[in-house]
Structure 1
Amino acid sequence: MKKFDYDSLNDLIITPEMTQKIIQISEIRGKIEASDLQSHDSVLERLVEVAKIQSTDASNGIEGIHTSDTRLKQIMAKKTMPRNRSEEEISGYRDVLDLIHQQYAYIPISSGTILTLHKHLFSFTASNWGGKFKDINNQIVTTFKDGSEEIRFDPPAAFLTPNLIDDLCSEFNKAKQLDKFPSLILNGAFVFDFVSIHPFRDGNGRMSRLLTLLVLYPSNYGVGRYISLESLIEKIKSQYYQALKLSSDGWNNNKNDYGPFIDFFLSIVLQAYRELDSHLESTINKPKSVTMLIIDSLQNELKPMSKRDIMATIPQYGQSSIEHGLADLTTSGKIHKLGGGRSTKYVLVV
């Protein structure tokens, strides 16, 4: 029988690498909190706007759910109704994301919360399973870029799901009170166990990423408001799946090693804080033109970047300014445009 051992996390060994990541996260968070955030209001507001769009796009994109950039922007601004199933699911994610960002202080970690959030996630669709635990057994399948699939894990049977979710939430909340582990460690373990239970017919991956935001907020790690954690995960999706796979072995028998997934989880949070710190630092230093910042972004990444990716790295400027900058740089031959439509990307001319 599956039991959640949040007293020892199956005798988890906290490696020096994990400890160092936690220390770095705390240091950067402390630096940001000690700064005059009011002087960064305009940048932070733009970061929030960009992060919401990126999070909704990336988390759905991991599951193969897409729409055009134009439609995504309209949906996020609530200026249009969804036209198809993909847009319905994107709209649901948008609303749950907003709810968590705005009301996290009043949302407990409980079975009822998880069911309610899932119901909202599918509120625009005709599906009848929104807000209901799975009634059939399922499998966790990894889909690769070439379309091939691999069964990564067989979750518990459907009839066990309600009790398992209750137990998970109860043990997690107790562990948070006892404070035996750093909160980031517990948060990562909770997200991993939720994914492993795979409690719903559909939407388990998206729910896990929404719950990541929800459990981080009360621990005072609110970086997900400004930097899209979902987008960071999407960029290294293969590593995400690998960490899940490594930590899954022995899960049903309470013998799994949480280490690989928690280490990945910490890496994502650390990367988000580094990005936020970098954005805030750039507002203190001598301002640069939008074209200079675009070149800097492409130089730092050393790979083709989409307009949306570039916008995420330049919160100082709005979309219109960045579009003009891209056009000027393309015309002057300093950057090259690759592809068209949604797949359009830009690269520095060598």
Structure 2
Amino acid sequence: MNFRYTFTLEMVQDLMDIEAARQTVRLTVLPPQLAEELRRQARVRSTHYTTRIEGNRLTLAEAEEAVLEGRRFPGRERDVREVQNTYRALQQVETWAERQTPVTEDLIRRLHALIERGPCAKATPYRDGQNVIREASTGALVYLPPESADVPGLMRDLVAWISRAEGEVLPTPVVAGLAHYQFVTIHPFYDGNGRTARALATLLLYRRGYDLGRFTSLEEIYAQDLDAYYGALQTHPHHNTYEGRAEADLTGWLVYFLRSMAAIFRRVAVEVQAQAAEPRAPEPSALRQLDRRARIVLGLFTHQETLTNNDVAAALGLSPRAARDLTAGWVAESWLEIADPARKSRRYRLSAEYRRFVSALSAE
């Protein structure tokens, strides 16, 4: 698999800006709970904007309520499921990145299943027929992807290329941008290709340390100007993949991708520095002992006074039984208390020390 592109001066400058922002964030120390809250906010924004690109009707505030509080919106059940599945999928992306899980075809098919059907779904098979991308308002043909018989071979080639590229000197943002482009070009599934392509790019960035503390939402900048996003992906005038798209010059797409990434990275670096400069209430000493999952749940208490096991399960992408085991352990560690002992709808609240800390954090 050979991609055609040329490194331009703009691309080189954007790569330099990305590295500078990484260094700024790496050297800036934030209180752990604040850092976890910023990660939660970024994950919610990524969830909202990547689904909004595909037509999801929930607002950012509604998406946050759906994924963190399990709120339902009558008449928009599909939109709610979509953001809930996407949020859990992005949590899984973070886990795979932390574990350095290799990018394989099976992982990509599992990622798609998480996004489209939720945590209990089996890995999605590749499409066995043709799908067509049309302009929503006019029905005009926009893109005709490869025939289904060619999809398995193209996906094998893409995964093999990612493996080789990660071991070479090619900058990671370029690898992520090219993988994003090639995935949507192949369009290996009937639906959910855009969301999966963006999640795959995020995974590739996170695996190689380009997570910027996981405070970023690249999808946000795409959604702000969809014409620019889709225009950059249109690298060839012909709608048929066999009529020149495979040999298209991808410089324009990479210019767009790196420009967008650099803009988000610069913005986050400035925000992190500003947050670090603000005076903060001292953290309880025990707070530093909480692991990542406990910090995510602690962050939920900035929006509500009590939680159920179902709330914890939704926030962490766990089964209700696993959530019950976690909350029982946290009660034993004395940072959670049982607010309502009802067996089926048991609710938890923070202990007094943690309530004081979260109240101070919410007031800032």
For 1:110, the equivalent position in structure 2 comes to: 104
8 Å contact from structure 1 (residues 89, 125) kept in 2:
no
Report deviation, 1:208: 0.8
Task: For 1:209 and 1:122, locate their aligned partners in 2 and report how far apart those are by CA, in whole Å.
Answer: 14
* 1:152 match: secondary structure: strand
Task: For 1:206 and 1:152, locate their aligned partners in 2 and report how far apart those are by CA, in whole Å.
Answer: 18
Q: 1:213 aligns with which of 186, 198, 202?
A: 202
Report deviation, 1:284: 4.4
- TM-score, structure 1 normalization: 0.71
Higher mean alpha-carbon deviation, 216-225 vs 16-25, is at: 216-225
Is 1:23 aligned with 2:13? no
Task: For 1:151 and 1:224, locate their aligned partners in 2 and report how far apart those are by CA, in whole Å.
Answer: 40
8 Å contact from structure 1 (residues 247, 258) kept in 2:
no
Runs (5+) with no aligned partner, structure 1: 288-317, 321-350
Amino acid aligned to 1:260: G
Task: For 1:142 and 1:215, locate their aligned partners in 2 and report how far apart those are by CA, in whole Å.
Answer: 30
Matches within 5 A, 1:108-187: 108-124=102-118, 131-143=124-136, 147-179=137-169, 181-187=170-176
8 Å contact from structure 1 (residues 152, 245) kept in 2:
no
* 2:89 match: secondary structure: helix
Pair 1:80–1:107, CA change in 2 (3 A): farther
Report deviation, 1:201: 0.4
8 Å contact from structure 1 (residues 227, 275) kept in 2:
no
- TM-score, structure 2 normalization: 0.69
For 1:300, the equivalent position in structure 2 comes to: none
Report deviation, 1:247: 5.6
8 Å contact from structure 1 (residues 216, 222) kept in 2:
yes
Task: For 1:243 and 1:224, locate their aligned partners in 2 and report how far apart those are by CA, in whole Å.
Answer: 27
8 Å contact from structure 2 (residues 106, 123) kept in 1:
no
Pair 1:109–1:216, CA change in 2 (3 A): same
For 2:94, the equivalent position in structure 1 comes to: 101
Task: For 2:106 and 2:86, locate their aligned partners in 1 and report how far apart those are by CA, in whole Å.
Answer: 18
Report deviation, 1:224: 7.7
Size of the aligned set, in residue pairs, is 278
8 Å contact from structure 1 (residues 138, 155) kept in 2:
yes
Higher mean alpha-carbon deviation, 111-120 vs 98-107, is at: 98-107
Is 1:46 aligned with 2:37? yes
For 2:333, the equivalent position in structure 1 comes to: none
Task: For 2:16 and 2:61, locate their aligned partners in 1 and report how far apart those are by CA, in whole Å.
Answer: 40
For residues 191-223 of structure 1, the C-alpha deviation after alignment (integer angstroms, 9 at most, x for no partner) is: 100010001100001101111110101221003
Report deviation, 1:111: 0.8
Pair 1:66–1:108, CA change in 2 (3 A): farther
Identity of aligned residues (%): 23
Q: 2:48 aligns with which of 48, 57, 60?
A: 57
Matches within 5 A, 1:1-350: 4-5=1-2, 9-10=3-4, 12-35=5-28, 37=29, 39-67=30-58, 71-77=62-68, 79-80=70-71, 84-104=77-97, 105-124=99-118, 131-143=124-136, 147-179=137-169, 181-223=170-212, 225-246=214-235, 252=242, 253=244, 254-285=246-277
Pair 1:61–1:137, CA change in 2 (3 A): same
Amino acid aligned to 1:31: T
Amino acid aligned to 1:206: R
8 Å contact from structure 2 (residues 126, 188) kept in 1:
yes
RMSD: 3.0
Task: For 1:113 and 1:247, locate their aligned partners in 2 and report how far apart those are by CA, in whole Å.
Answer: 30
Report deviation, 1:132: 1.8
For residues 89-132 of structure 1, the C-alpha deviation after alignment (integer angstroms, 9 at most, x for no partner) is: 22211110111123323432111111111111222599x99712
Runs (5+) with no aligned partner, structure 2: 280-301, 305-364
8 Å contact from structure 1 (residues 129, 201) kept in 2:
no
8 Å contact from structure 1 (residues 248, 256) kept in 2:
no
Amino acid aligned to 2:217: S
